[in-house]
A = this chain, B = another copy of it.
């Protein structure tokens, strides 16, 4: 067994102690990264996004990596102006044909942040308080990206042999729909991606605040529009109310017919697509560390649709859910407007799970919507269609690659990680799996309360420093494969 050996290499080789010794230096490096307001969604910060790309380029080059900056062309902003997309970093460290190759993905851009949104500190200044590091991008996704650099730097410094070649794909448009990334990856299927043996993405979070987790599944999504048109323009409800078949009444009724109060989806045949639950899987959910009452309180919800721990986790991860998002075309502002909307688009989506294929889901959903519309008997114009969809992702946590993650976690945190899924989608996971044809693992660094995308985003110093060790130990564990 190579596990003890790699663990020993890491610990006795001094990785653990060295990383602890470099703690302040690593915090400084993260501070420099957070100080660059690389907000991809705000045009005024585009130069900062590019600055962040160059910052990471230099750090990778210091490690000896060969860095290619891929120019992705132009982006058309919502107001029609055109903006150069930031380059994508494709880097290679090691080309030893006797070694396997790891692909690491991360992103360099961040969500917007303004002090007046409710930040207690300057968002683009990394502030240390109560063993936490506050700042925009601290956990999403700068600490993991810098963590890889810290870990590799440490191993190099201690002259510990890294048993894999490493490729890096760091994009800077993740918070803006990863524009340009998929094309750039597809174009590199037979070059940059050709010999990738496993992919590791550190861009998600533990299930809780204390216990490490590894993620092996994600739900997919099917998003639908119901478009109902009655008249050629919005009408005054005083002048026309009483004789017009109002699209809002139609759409409210249609939306009310998709699920019941407890969230049970009422679309014929849909649940038949869901992979049956085995006893073993059910038991697995019961072993996961999760405090359902803490979860409910965190949301400030009066009650949840499920009460037991395993039921909650399964309904978040392994069963489909249907959410009504809103209505385009209806009055949505504050105050009172007496309008009869002429045309409305009801929007909802279904989170899909194994074995629900989007094409099959689309067929059932659209058939159901058209049947409902017939039942409604409104003379208005109706059109239902799929807006977009994305597959679910499910890996096998018994795969040797995952076992490397497990051993690295045990080395660093002295505990077996929980294997979890997530309810949302990370489409790039599927893209890497498809293009490399090999295993992908999501290895989170941050904790569940890190507040990514929200105000007062932070990463615990523990998660950052032990997380750096985790990435280093994981690199060494890969030598066993």
Contacts and interface: CB of A to CB of B under 8 A. Distances in A.
Given A324-B249, A328-B333, A379 B303 contact: yes
Contact of A332 (B315, B330, B334): B330
A313 B214 CA distance: 67
A278 interface: no
Interface in A320-361: 320-328, 330-334, 336-341, 347, 349, 351
Contacts of A301: 230-231, 244-245
Given A299-B235, A325-B339, A338-B349, A319 B242 contact: yes
Contacts of A327: 326-327, 330, 332
Contact of A336 (B236, B387, B423): B387
A326 B331 contact: yes
A231 B244 CA distance: 36
Contacts of A219: 238
A380 interface: yes
Contacts of A334: 328
A457 interface: no
Given A261-B376, A305-B244, A349-B338, A237 B300 contact: no
A315 to B, nearest CB: 4
Contacts of A423: 238-242
Contacts of A300: 231-232
Interface string A404-435: 00000000000000000011110000000000
Nearest to A345: B334
B238 A325 contact: no
Contacts of A322: 241
Nearest to A338: B349
Contacts of A315: 242-243
Interface string A295-316: 0000111111110000010011
A222 B305 CA distance: 35
Contact of A239 (B237, B259, B338, B424): B424
A322 B244 CA distance: 11
Given A323-B340, A327-B326, A336-B388, A305 B245 contact: yes
A476 interface: no
Contacts of A380: 302
A330 to B, nearest CB: 3
B316 A240 contact: yes
B338 A326 contact: no
Specify how many copies of this chain sit in the oligomer: 2
Interface string A271-309: 000000000000000000000000000011111111000
A377 interface: yes
A324 B246 contact: yes
A326 B341 contact: yes
A219 B425 CA distance: 51
B261 A245 contact: yes
A250 interface: yes
B341 A325 contact: yes
B319 A351 contact: no
A23 to B, nearest CB: 31
Contacts of A338: 221, 223, 323, 325, 349, 424
Contacts of A246: 263, 323-324
Nearest to A224: B336
A379 B302 contact: yes
Interface string A211-235: 0000000010101000000111001
Contacts of A351: 237-238, 241-242
Given A330-B327, A336-B388, A349-B237, A321 B242 contact: yes
A31 B256 CA distance: 53
A85 to B, nearest CB: 19
A117 B464 CA distance: 54
A230 B425 contact: no
A224 to B, nearest CB: 9
11 contacts: A230-B301, A232-B300, A242-B315, A242-B351, A249-B259, A252-B252, A303-B379, A323-B339, A325-B331, A325-B337, A327-B330
Interface of A: 219, 221, 223, 230-232, 235-246, 248-250, 252-253, 255-256, 259, 261-263, 299-306, 312, 315-316, 319-328, 330-334, 336-341, 347, 349, 351, 376-381, 387-388, 422-425
A-B pairs with the 7 shortest C-beta distances? A238-B424, A326-B331, A326-B330, A332-B332, A242-B321, A241-B321, A252-B255
